[in-house]
Structure 1
Amino acid sequence: MMICHCMSITDHDIRRAVDWMRAADRDTVITPGKVYRALGKRPDCGGCLPLFIDKLRACDTFEVPMELRGLRRAMTQGERNYEG
């Protein structure tokens, strides 16, 4: 299915890019920007981003590695200890 008409990106392209990035570095955090760069493209109008992100989330290998989950929460809670 065509996801980005401006750059001719399909759902298969997204899936292959995510699988390739995960195989290269299992701890990487995959973002839409990284997927575009992996495909050698750049977002143009941005109209596809909601569908693009849905397709990213649907990939089996997309999820954030377990050891990286909750880092933002931990940093935020640590910063609160230094206030006031």
Structure 2
Amino acid sequence: MMICHCQSITDRDIRAAVDWMRASDPETIITPGKIYRALGKKADCGGCLPLFMDTMRDCDSFEVPEILRGLRRAPGKETSDERRRKGY
């Protein structure tokens, strides 16, 4: 099925990229940007991203590696205003 018409990306392309990335590095975090780069493409209009993400999540090898599950930021490092000015 065609997922991205702008870049001619199919669900098979996405699944193959996810499988290839997982096989080459089992501990990698797979993102849409990494998939686009693996396919030699760039996101264009972004209209496909919801379907793109759903297709990624449906891949058998997409899951987060065991070693990376449950990681969180260290407490106290975050600020509520993220150091932004009031008018931002």
Fold similarity call, TM over 0.5? yes
Partners of 2:15 and 2:38 in 1: how far apart?
Answer: 11
User: Unpaired segments of 5 or more residues in structure 1?
Assistant: none
Give 2:76's aligned amino acid: R
Deviating 4+ runs (over 4 angstroms): none
* Equivalenced residues, count: 78
Match of 1:79 among 75, 80, 85: 75
Q: For 1:63 and 1:32, how far apart are their aligned partners in 2?
A: 14
**What value does the CA root-mean-square deviation take over the aligned residues?**
1.5
How much has 1:63 moved relative to structure 2?
A: 0.4
TM-score (norm 2): 0.84
1:80 deviates by: 3.4
Structure with the greater alpha carbon radius of gyration: 2
Find the residue that maps to 1:12 and give its secondary structure: helix
Whether 1:23 and 2:19 are equivalent positions in the alignment is: no
